[in-house]
Chain A
Amino acid sequence: MAGVTVARPPLPAVLALPGKAFATLTRWPVLPLGVLTLLVATAIFAPLLAPHDPLRASLAKRNIPPAWTAKGTWEHPLGTDPVGRDILSRLIFGARVSLLVVGISLATGLLVGTGLGLIAGYFGGIVDEVISRVVDIWLALPFIVVALAAVIVFGQSFGIMVGLLALLAWAPFVRNVRAEVMVLKSRDYVAMAKVAGASTLRILVRHILPGVINTVIVIATLRVGQLILFEAILSFLGAGIPPPTPAWGVMVADGRNYVHDAWWVSFFPGMAIFLVVMSLNFLGDWIRDRFDPRLRQV
Chain B
Amino acid sequence: MGRKRAVFVILGAVIAATVVVLGCRPAAPPTPTPAPAPPPLAVVATPTPTPAPAPTPPPVTVPTGVLTVAVPTVNVPAGTPRFCSAGCAENVYMVSAFETLFRPASGDILGEKPEVPLLAESWALDSAYPPRWLDFRLRRGIPFHRGYGEMTAEDVAFSFNDANSRTTPESIHGQAGDFYPLIEKVEALDKYTARLWYVQYDSRGLRHRFSLFWQTAGITSKKVFDELGPERMRTVFIGTGPFMITEYTQNKGIFLEAVDNHWRKTPAFRTVRILEVPEAATRRAMALTGEADIVVPALKDVPDLVRAGLKSVETGNYAQMIIFFTGNYWEKKHVLTGEPLDRKLDLTKPWVSPNPEDDPERAERARKIRWALALAIDREGLNKAILQGLGRPTYIGYVSIAHKEFQERWKVPFDPARARQMLREAGGWPAGVNMEMHCWTPAVWSELCEAIANVWLTELGVKTDIEKVAYTVYRPGLVRRTTSKPIIFPGDDGHSGFPYRWAKGFTNSSISSGGFGVGMEIPKMSELYLKTAVELDPVKQKQYVDEFHDYSHYWMLQPGTVEFPYILVYNPRRIASWDLLPTTNSNLGGLNNLESIVPVR
CA distance A218 to B380 in the complex (A): 56
CA distance A156 to B447 in the complex (A): 18
Highest count of chain B CB atoms <10 Å: which of A238, A242, A256, A257? A257
CA distance A60 to B386 in the complex (A): 10
> Min CB distance, B380 to chain A, in Å?
10
Highest count of chain A CB atoms <10 Å: which of B281, B284, B447? B447
Q: Is B453 an interface residue, CB under 8 A from the partner? A: yes
Q: Is A232 an interface residue, CB under 8 A from the partner? A: no
Q: A62-B385, A257-B280 are in contact. Are A57 and B469 (CB under 8 A)?
A: no
Question: Is A242 a contact partner of B466 (Cβ separation < 8 A)?
Answer: yes
Find the B residue at minimum CB distance from A157: B465
> Min CB distance, B442 to chain A, in Å?
9
Find the B residue at minimum CB distance from A153: B473
Question: Is A239 a contact partner of B469 (Cβ separation < 8 A)?
Answer: yes
Question: Is B281 a contact partner of A83 (Cβ separation < 8 A)?
Answer: no
> Interface code A185-229, partner B: CB below 8 Å = 1, 0 otherwise?
000000000000000000000000000000000000000000000
Number of chain A interface residues as a range: 20 to 34
> Min CB distance, B205 to chain A, in Å?
40
Question: Is A244 a contact partner of B468 (Cβ separation < 8 A)?
Answer: no
Note all chain A residues with C-beta closer than 8 A to B469.
151-152, 155-156, 238-239
> Interface code A234-245, partner B: CB below 8 Å = 1, 0 otherwise?
000011001110
Question: Is A60 a contact partner of B284 (Cβ separation < 8 A)?
Answer: no
> Min CB distance, A87 to chain B, in Å?
14
Q: Is A8 an interface residue, CB under 8 A from the partner? A: no
Note all chain B residues with C-beta closer than 8 A to A260.
281, 284
Number of chain B interface residues as a range: 20 to 34
Q: A257-B443, A260-B281 are in contact. Are A59 and B450 (CB under 8 A)?
A: no
Q: A55-B454, A257-B443 are in contact. Are A242 and B467 (CB under 8 A)?
A: yes
Find the B residue at minimum CB distance from A156: B469
Question: Is B466 a contact partner of A244 (Cβ separation < 8 A)?
Answer: yes
- 8 Å CB interface, B430-455 against A: 441, 443, 447, 450-451, 453-454
Note all chain A residues with C-beta closer than 8 A to B453.
243-244
Number of A-B contacts (CB under 8 A): 60
- 8 Å CB interface, A240-257 against B: 242-244, 256-257
Note all chain B residues with C-beta closer than 8 A to A84.
385, 451, 454
- 8 Å CB interface, A244-281 against B: 244, 256-257, 259-260
> Min CB distance, A78 to chain B, in Å?
19
Note all chain B residues with C-beta closer than 8 A to A151.
469
Q: Is A103 an interface residue, CB under 8 A from the partner? A: no
Q: From A60, A152, A239, A243, give the contact of B466 (CB < 8 A).
A: A243
Note all chain A residues with C-beta closer than 8 A to B298.
257
Q: Is A56 an interface residue, CB under 8 A from the partner? A: yes
Q: Is A29 an interface residue, CB under 8 A from the partner? A: no
- 8 Å CB interface, A23-37 against B: none
Q: A257-B443, A259-B281 are in contact. Are A56 and B467 (CB under 8 A)?
A: no
CA distance A62 to B443 in the complex (A): 14
> Interface code A272-293, partner B: CB below 8 Å = 1, 0 otherwise?
0000000000000000000000
Q: A59-B385, A259-B281, A260-B284 are in contact. Are A152 and B470 (CB under 8 A)?
A: yes
Note all chain A residues with C-beta closer than 8 A to B382.
59
CA distance A256 to B466 in the complex (A): 19
> Interface code B125-138, partner A: CB below 8 Å = 1, 0 otherwise?
00000000000000
CA distance A239 to B441 in the complex (A): 12
Question: Is B473 a contact partner of A83 (Cβ separation < 8 A)?
Answer: no
Note all chain A residues with C-beta closer than 8 A to B466.
242-244
Question: Is A56 a contact partner of B458 (Cβ separation < 8 A)?
Answer: yes
Q: Is A82 an interface residue, CB under 8 A from the partner? A: yes
Find the A residue at minimum CB distance from B304: A261
> Min CB distance, B166 to chain A, in Å?
33
> Interface code A59-88, partner B: CB below 8 Å = 1, 0 otherwise?
110100000000000000000001110000
> Min CB distance, A206 to chain B, in Å?
47
> Min CB distance, A233 to chain B, in Å?
16
CA distance A82 to B299 in the complex (A): 14
Question: Is A59 a contact partner of B451 (Cβ separation < 8 A)?
Answer: yes
- Show 8 residue pairs from A and B whose CB-CB distance is below 8 angstroms, ordered by the A residue: A57-B450, A57-B454, A59-B386, A82-B443, A155-B469, A156-B467, A156-B468, A238-B441
Residues of A participating in the B interface, judged by any CB pair closer than 8 Å: 55-57, 59-60, 62, 82-84, 151-152, 155-156, 238-239, 242-244, 256-257, 259-260
